[in-house]
């Protein structure tokens, strides 16, 4: 199954480009996107491995995906996941898309990403 972002969703935020030195720790640890928010990770150079988990407490992934330069991966709303940068020269960013009526609160990543296992 190929995951797509619904056509009516609105682009709400784009991150800067990250590398091994600047990737936020939150992305490398267990987190999810908020309700009604899709994340699209685009790799410009190198490769990223996406690990998806069935819930906040799981340590065994139910999804593993290698995203190479020139490609992207999509994480659906509220899917617990983390990423791993696979090469020394990895360079990527993330775009977030929300349902048109989503009431997003918080600042920065906090608008679209949840790191709390509540």
pLDDT of residue 101: 80
> How many percent of the chain have pLDDT more than 70?
85
Tens of pLDDT, residue by residue over 70-86, are 999 999 999 999 999 99
Tens of pLDDT, residue by residue over 80-106, are 999 999 999 999 999 999 888 876 655
Q: Which domain holds residue 82?
A: 10-100
C-alpha 34/C-alpha 37 separation (Å) is: 6
- Per the domain annotation, does 20 fall within a domain? yes
C-alpha 99/C-alpha 1 separation (Å) is: 21
If pLDDT is split at 50, 70 and 90, which confidence band does 43 have? very high
pLDDT of residue 104: 64
**CATH code at 35?**
2.60.120.10
Lowest mean pLDDT among 17-21, 66-70, 100-104: 100-104
pLDDT at 109 exceeding the cut of 50: no
Based on the structure, what is the number of domains in the chain?
A: 1
- Per the domain annotation, does 81 fall within a domain? yes
- Per the domain annotation, does 96 fall within a domain? yes
CA distances, 48 to each of 13, 41, 105, 108 (Å): 20, 9, 28, 22
pLDDT at 54 exceeding the cut of 60: yes
- Per the domain annotation, does 95 fall within a domain? yes
- Per the domain annotation, does 106 fall within a domain? no
If pLDDT is split at 50, 70 and 90, which confidence band does 17 have? very high
- Per the domain annotation, does 1 fall within a domain? no
- Per the domain annotation, does 89 fall within a domain? yes
pLDDT of residue 111: 47
- Per the domain annotation, does 105 fall within a domain? no
């Amino acid at each position: 199954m190929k995951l797509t972002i619904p056509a009516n969703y609105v682009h709400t935020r784009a991150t800067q480009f990250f590398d091994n030195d600047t990737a936020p720790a939150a992305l490398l640890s267990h987190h999810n996107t908020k309700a009604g928010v899709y994340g699209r990770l685009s790799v410009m150079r190198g490769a990223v491995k996406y690990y998806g988990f069935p819930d906040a407490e799981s340590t065994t992934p139910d999804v593993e995906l290698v995203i190479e330069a020139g490609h992207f991966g999509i994480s659906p709303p509220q899917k617990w996941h983390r990423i791993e940068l696979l090469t020394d020269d990895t360079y990527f960013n993330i775009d977030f898309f929300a349902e048109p009526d989503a009431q997003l609160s918080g600042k920065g990543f906090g608008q679209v990403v949840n790191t709390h296992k509540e």
